[in-house]
Amino acid sequence: MVLSPVFSESWAEVYAFFALGGFILGWVAQRGNYCFVNAMTSIFTTRSFERFGALLILFGLSALGCGLLVAFGLIPAVDQYYFNYFGGWYILVGSFIFGFGAALAGGCNLSMLYRAASGYVQNWIELFGMMIGTYVFAIGIWPFQQYTMEKGIFSTTMGGYVEYLPYDIFHSVSPMAIYATTLMIGLPLVFLGIYLQQYTKKKWLANLRMTPPGLPISMTTNPSQEAISAEKTKTDWKKEVKDLLLLKKPYGTNLATILLALDILLVFIAGAGYTFNYLVITSSDGGRFFEYILMIFGVNLFTNTPWFNDSLPIVDPSTLMVVMLCVGAFAASFLSGDFKIRIPREKKRLLIGFVGGMLVGIGVRMALGCNVGLMWTNFAQLGYDGIIFLFGMLGGVYLAVKVQERL
Give dist(CA 9, CA 271) in Å, integer.
10
Domain layout of the chain by residue ranges: 11-406
Q: 0.85 cut: is pTM over it?
A: yes
What separation in angstroms does the CA of 294 have from each of 112, 287, 299, 304?
22, 11, 5, 13
Maximum Cα interatomic distance, the chain, rounded to a whole number of Å: 70
pLDDT digits (tens, 9 = 90+) for 48-106: 999 999 999 999 999 999 999 999 999 999 889 888 878 899 999 999 999 999 999 88
pLDDT digits (tens, 9 = 90+) for 241-289: 888 888 888 999 999 999 999 999 998 998 888 765 555 565 555 667 7
What one-letter code names the amino acid at 371?
Answer: N
What one-letter code names the amino acid at 403?
Answer: V
Give dist(CA 189, CA 320) in Å, integer.
31
214 phi, psi to nearest 5 deg: 85, -10
Q: Using alpha carbons, select from 289, 319, 276 the residue that is nearest to residue 21.
A: 319
103, containing H or E segment = helix 89-105
Q: Using alpha carbons, select from 43, 61, 71 the residue that is nearest to residue 191.
A: 61
pLDDT at 289: 74
pLDDT digits (tens, 9 = 90+) for 342-367: 999 888 889 999 999 999 999 999 99
Q: Using alpha carbons, select from 102, 89, 87 the residue that is nearest to residue 362.
A: 102
- Which one-letter DSSP state was computed for residue 83? T
